[in-house]
Amino acid sequence: MKSYDVIVIGAGHNGLIVASKLASSGRKVLLIEAGETYGGMARSEVLFEGFQAPELASNAFGISKDVVQDLGLSKYEILFNEDGLKTVGLNTENENVIFGSSFGKSIEGIGKEEFKRWKELREKFFNQSHLFQRLASQIPVGGNHKTFGSKVNLFLTAAKLRLQGREQFQELLRMITMCIADLVEEELETPSLKGLISFDSTLGIKLGPRSPTSYLGLLYKLSQIKASYQEKSLSIHGGVTSFINALFKSAEENGVDFVFKGKVSSIIISDSVATGVKLENGVEYSAKTIVSSISPVNTFLDLVGAQNLETDLTRRIRALRYSGNTSKLNIILEEIPKLNNSQNLDENYRYVYAPSLASVESNFNSLKYNELPSDPNFEIYFNKISSESSLNGAVMASICIQNTPYSLKGGWKNSKEVLMKKVISTIQKLAPDFSKGILFKSLLLPHETEKKYCVAGGHWHHSELQIDSLYSLRPTFDVSDYSTPIDGLFICGAGTHPGGNLFGLSGLNAAKKILRESIK
């Protein structure tokens, strides 16, 4: 049996970060990945005629600055969009709004008064997101983790919020559990602007704009923007892949060993201490430290097994809400289509179809009852393909469809095509030539993501990012500090604090925790 200091399960971005960081401290690290290559849900897949691109993660804002600096990733080429990402809020009346980078620093397509109100609101949003931003890079203070430093940090976070002034603080307390619908309706008038903000607050979360606490979804997103290179997002063209490649190279240079196509079947545990892992093909590796970057549901229920865990913990893990609610439609087009107003769809923009707040809410209502939305909301990125092959010059449309039920009433068998058609016909209304140029299309539903990417429920965040599953409640209060009741086993996936998109802080925090533990 080969022996290592550390075994990391899952080569997603968090797994790569932990592996690289721990390897750089001189540990012998093995990274085991079930898939053929690294990247997890951000990995590249062959989509069409040899063309490779990330099948799920089309783009990401909020790569944590801390991660880039800590691992020294700037020496690798990460493709940032220097101008930031602009978003176009589409609607069928052709009254599109163009939402400037850094979440609407500037907006085209709305009146002067409306912009003034938005500017104030936006400032308030960003001020309040400070709460998350500050806590994101900390190991949550909770039952197991209550060092003096962590308590001081928590206190300072609260103090800083309070020091913004009495009124601001009261505003925060008033707003924090509100729904985004009430907040935007208090201040704004433009339907597509309200739709766009509601969409961004609830994408990937099982909440509608009128659900209480849906404002937290927005705060979370803004804090990610703040914790990253504010203005910059990853470039639409290969940005995600460049980031994942940089992580891989960093891990490789730090001496991490890799095993691909090695699905871990169980973590070997004796007397509540993790001593190694066993793969499905029977191979075993031993290590004193095992770090699982996969979903907490998979980690605890599949790899550790209920027979090694307290009933209280398995109860809480099984009670997590981890059914995915977003699907991904990838379409390859001959060329970039034109909009109704004969404007070219620009490949440097993100397009969001969420024409109004009511539309986002009605989409969510369908999700609630496991039905297909009648007029699905989605976001699109267009990505020009440059390759040697015949596809050169073609365009890939990455479409992320909100509110797709994990288990659809009546089953998915015939409805997959229906959902695809609905989305395409909506785009067709906006860009009449769209469907003519379609070379290839494929839709990945939550339950398909679950199977293909080995993540319970197919949830992008491993479990819901909601008020009851943040910070020291993520994934549950007794395992929120990345350690587990199994000695030597740690978790570091998106299911841990702070989770979310390609943030990367879950991995970095977990690595810090492990380093701290072993110094002890």
Partner 1 sequence: MIQSNGKNDRDIIFGKPLFRSPFYDFFAAQETEGNWYNWNGYKSPTIVSDQELEYFSIRSTCSVFDITPLNKYRIVGSQAVEFLNKLTVRDVAKQNVATVKYTLWCDQDGFVIDDGTLFRISDNDFRLCSQEKHLPWLIDTSHGFDVEIIDESKHVCGISLQGPTSASILRLLGVNGIDNLKPFHLFQTKISNIPIMISRTGFTGDLGYEIFLKNNVANKFIERVWNAGTNHGITAIGYNALNMARIEAGFIVANIDFISSDHAIRPNRCRRPDDLGLGWIVDLNKGFFNGRRAIINSKLEDSEVFKIYALEIDGKEPAEGSIIYYNKKDEVGTVTSAIWSPMTKKSIALAQLKLGSSKSKKDNLWVEIYSLKELQYHKLMKKVSIVKPPFVNLSRRSACPPAKC
In whole angstroms, the minimum distance from the beta carbon of 325 to partner 1 comes to 24
DSSP string computed for 180-219: HHHHHHHH---HHHHHHHHHHHHTTSS--TTSTTHHHHHH
Which of 34-42, 309-317, 359-367, 489-497 is the region at the interface with partner 1 (rule: CB under 8 A)? Answer: 309-317
Closer to partner 1 by CB, 311 or 341: give it. 311
Strands (E), 13-91: 29-32, 44-48, 51-54, 80-81, 86-90
Phi and psi at residue 275, in whole multiples of 5°? -120, -10
Closer to partner 1 by CB, 272 or 425: give it. 272
Which tokens in the block code for residue 444? 């990945």
Which of 6-14, 314-322, 361-369, 387-395 is the region at the interface with partner 1 (rule: CB under 8 A)? Answer: 314-322
Find the binder of partner 1 among 95, 485, 517, 518 (CB under 8 A).
485
In whole angstroms, the minimum distance from the beta carbon of 308 to partner 1 comes to 5
Closest by CA to 360, choosing from 500, 220, 207, 215, is: 207
Closer to partner 1 by CB, 308 or 327: give it. 308
What torsion do the CA atoms of 234, 346, 208, 104 make, to the nearest 10 degrees?
70
Nearest-angstrom CA–CA distance, 88 and 333? 20
Closest by CA to 115, choosing from 185, 179, 193, 175, is: 193
100 binds partner 1 (CB under 8 A): no
Give the x-and-dash track for 404-443 against partner 1 (CB under 8 A): ----------------------------------------
318 binds partner 1 (CB under 8 A): yes
- The number of residues making up the chain comes to 520
Name which of residues 266 to 295 contact partner 1 (CB under 8 A): 271-272
Nearest-angstrom CA–CA distance, 231 and 80? 10
Q: At what angle do helices 148-163 and 112-136 cross, to 10 degrees?
A: 160
Which of 204-212, 217-225, 299-307, 413-421 is the region at the interface with partner 1 (rule: CB under 8 A)? Answer: 299-307
Closer to partner 1 by CB, 188 or 306: give it. 306
Which of 305-313, 332-340, 411-419, 421-429 is the region at the interface with partner 1 (rule: CB under 8 A)? Answer: 305-313
Q: For the chain, what is the radius of gyration of the CA atoms?
A: 22
> Count of residues binding partner 1 (CB under 8 A)?
15
306 binds partner 1 (CB under 8 A): yes
Find the binder of partner 1 among 311, 341, 342, 414 (CB under 8 A).
311
Which residues bind to partner 1, rule: CB under 8 A?
Answer: 271-272, 301, 305-308, 310-315, 318, 485
